[in-house]
Every structure is written in C-alpha cells, then in structure tokens.
Amino acid sequence: MTAAKTVVVTGATRGIGRAIADRLAHAGWRVIGTYRRDRGDGDRHPPLAGEIAPAPAIAFVRMDLGSDASVGAAARAIAARAGRLDAIINNAGTTDDGAFLAMEEGRVAALLQANLFGTIRLTRALLPLLRGGSDASVVNIASLAGVAGKEGQVSYAASKGGLIGFTKLLARRTSRTGVRANAVAPGFIATEMTGMLDDDMVRHIVHGTSLRRIGEPADVADAVTFLLGARYVNGTTIKVDGGFKR
Ligand SMILES: NC(=O)c1ccc[n+]([C@@H]2O[C@H](COP(=O)([O-])OP(=O)(O)OC[C@H]3O[C@@H](n4cnc5c(N)ncnc54)[C@H](OP(=O)(O)O)[C@@H]3O)[C@@H](O)[C@H]2O)c1
C-alpha cells in the first residue's frame, strides 16, 4: 500500500478552500488546512472534520497571512506535523474594494501583504518540504481580476496578478526542484466573499457568463484536482469563470 500524499490547503475552513480540502480528503490525501480566525478549538476544526466520513486525515494550523510572525509559526507547525509535503494549495485570500484614487495606501499595502507577500513567504518556507522528483506541485488560487483587472479592486487585482507572476517564477524552477506550479483564476464563485453582491449584480454576472450560472466552490476544486494530476502542465493559469465575457 502506498502512503497517503500530504497537501497543505490554506484558508480551508470555508468557501473554495473548504471545497478543495473536502475533495482531496475524500480522494485519500492527508490534508493540513489553515484557518485565520480563532475558533477556540485548538488545531482541529470539528465541523469540517465531522462532516467527512470515514474519518479523514485533516488537521488544522492557525495562520494569518497578514502577519509575518504568524506565517513563520504556521510553517514551523506544518513542518513538524507533516515532515514532507506533496502539494501546496495557496487558496487563502481576502478583498478590500474601493475607488482607486480614494483608497488609502495603508489599505492597499495590507491587502498586498496578506494575498501576495504572505503567500510568497509561506511558499518559500514550505518549498523545501516538497518531495522533489515525485510530481509535487503548487497551485495558487488567483482571480480573473488578476488576469483582466477589475474596477474597484486595485489592491486585489494587483495581488492576484502578482500571484500569477509568482506562479510563473516557481514553474521556471521546476527543472531544479521537480516541483510544478500552476494557478487557477476563478471568476464569480458563490462564497462568503461574493455573498454581499446584490441581485442586480448577480443577474449581470449570470447574463455575462456563457454557462449562465455563478460558479460553485466545487468548480474550482475540479480545476485544482486536475492540476495536481496533470504531470505535463506547468506555469499555466486556468480560468474557471464559466466563460465570462467582459
Ligand atoms: N469567491 C470568488 O468569487 C473568488 C473569485 C476569484 C478568486 N477567489 C479567491 O479564492 C480564494 C478563496 O476565496 P473564497 O471565495 O472561498 O473566500 P472566503 O469564503 O472569504 O474564504 C477565505 C478563506 O481565506 C482565509 N483567509 C482570509 N484572509 C486571510 C488571512 N489574512 N490569513 C489567512 N487566511 C485568510 C479565510 O479564513 P477565516 O475563515 O479564518 O477568515 C477563509 O478560510 C481567495 O484567495 C479569493 O481571492 C475567490
């Protein structure tokens, strides 16, 4: 019997990260998820673990991407728990929308710190744990906003565009590290992040989407699962946007 592969999924408590963690746990992966908000439940997250049967190998580590100290502590905790890794899914992220010229630089910097610098810092710390030469891989969850830009999302679009560039850098190192790197750029996916959109906006999005529906977290998990097993795909960004026409 081959040993289970181990994957880190950041932001695994809800939304897209949760769908990815669920999918991989069901597929037999040993999952180490991260969460940010203090749920007072130590390093396990009962609702998620309780919903998956038979008992999956899911463990949780607390991490706030906005804090260098927290990212460092999380990386050490992951190393202690996992030893070696087979994949990293950099999913955790947040948004802070507002008019470009009116947005204070501190807000722009805070968002870049969390979505981009924090993710780079974590990846740099975890990269040596990845098993080179055994089809290890990194998948970064970017955004359509990082591919095409989006009005009102200056820091978010910059952070996600930066993640796509970071993905390409990682992919170029594959010949040395044996680690593939790819990104997924979701369009509009039904999660807490997009829960504040009003009905008019949702109708507008659905109308502009050739598949005529908003995406589900499971749609993004499909693409992540594909990339983890796609041994000749490296340095690419897959749009998961239902064919959104801008
Ligand atoms: N939903 C969309 O339409 C959409 C579209 C394109 C890209 N994305 C990207 O997909 C990823 C997941 O989004 P989602 O829609 O699932 O969002 P979500 O429901 O808001 O979940 C975000 C996850 O990231 C974690 N997180 C947020 N800020 C963090 C920080 N500073 N440090 C560590 N963890 C943090 C959250 O942890 P807590 O629960 O502890 O707060 C949560 O687990 C994000 O990177 C997002 O930018 C989403």
104-117 pLDDT tens trace: 999 999 999 999 99
H or E element, residue 239: strand 237-240
Fold of the domain built from segment(s) 6-240:
Rossmann fold (3.40.50)
pLDDT, position 44: 45
Catalytic residue among 29, 156, 166, 244: 156
pLDDT, position 128: 96
209 compared with 196, residue with greater pLDDT:
209
Every domain of the chain and the residues it spans: 6-240
pTM for this prediction:
0.94
Residues with Cβ within 6 A of ligand 1?
11, 13-17, 35-37, 63-66, 91-94, 114, 141, 143, 186, 188-189, 191-194
Query: Residue with the nearest Cα to atom 43 of ligand 1?
Result: 11
The CA distance from 36 to 16, in Å, is 15
Distance 142 CA to ligand 1 centre (A): 11
